[in-house]
Structure 1
Amino acid sequence: MKKRIVYGVLIVVTLVFVLLFVFSNNNFKKFETLQEAIEKGIPYQVNNIVHTDKYEDVTIVMYTTNPEEPPIANYEALAVAFFKGSDEEGWQNIGHHGWTHYENDNMTVYLEPLRINDDKGNTLNEFYVVFGEVNNPEIEKIETSTQEDEKFNEAKMITANGNRYYFQIGREPIVRGLSKNGTVIDRQGG
């Protein structure tokens, strides 16, 4: 009699886990196209795709979204998502989800890490993305650096939907915005 109860409980628990896995919006799901992965794999409404870039075997998507969670905000947040795959093998969202936002008249600075390990603890991917919005029209170039390095690296400038952004791969939390003649207008980080 006790064995029947134990087997019954095990069957019910197994069914619950299977149903939770099948019906949950999990990151293990593969999508046929990158566009489908963006639409269904990012838990926020994507307003605009600002930029996509490939680094190693990861496709990075920078996008804007309107925060819907309390407190509901009156601004667009800038975020990145990380995907692996292809249209032949399917696409999978491999990163965490979240965004931060703050106001700055010159530029914003966000640093987002991606760390993926296999089940044995071996690192599969580890890198950072530095990105943000450029609000001051006098800023013509963005450069990034580390605290240990005296050299600055020029970030990729992007214009999308009437706004200007920058994008750089690397753990370079020091960001400066320069005018046309090289004058530092703003420096953040470090």
Structure 2
Amino acid sequence: MPRLRKRLKLRFARLCCLARPSFPLLPMKKANDNDIDAFSWACRELSRRDMTEFEIRLRLAKRNCSPQAIEETVKLLTEKGLIDDEKICRRLIEQGLAKARHGLVYFRAMAFSRGLSAAIIAAVEAEMAEAELTAARMAIEKKGVSGQTREKMGRFLAARGFSLRAIRQVLTNANLTDG
């Protein structure tokens, strides 16, 4: 069974290469061989998911790339527009608020863990204040407010990472009992 799986993977790889000639047929060499391999490895990783500059630097360092290769790779990726921390931060917060599961405090912590700067996060948060209010309202509607106290719903929203401002505004407009 493993041989068949391996053959199928090779056939699929060849088909992908025929459809997209920029894809290599063989697996890439390790990134510490030379600078070109570090760049191609980073491009391959970026094709899988968006990564911040910090994450690229960290992963290249784990692959034992030289500091010069890391700097050149990050510089090239930034020049080509493949790394854009502000775009990643905006997408992270927009997609999360659209699901209405968490608030800006939660996403601020997530953005910090991905290595985004405080200035970028603050700029994006300022734009997303209204979206957070909408997400908080949707979270309360999903939870169901019948018979719930203000304190209980406030704790629920705070645990989900919504800001105090959003919690106060949503709770003043909601039909909740005082306790």
| TM-score calculated relative to the size of structure 1 | 0.27
Q: Larger Cα Rg: Structure 1 or Structure 2?
A: 2
Whose relative contact order is higher, 1 or 2, with alpha carbons under 8 Å and at least 6 apart? 2
| TM-score calculated relative to the size of structure 2 | 0.28
The structure with the greater share of residues assigned to strand is: 1
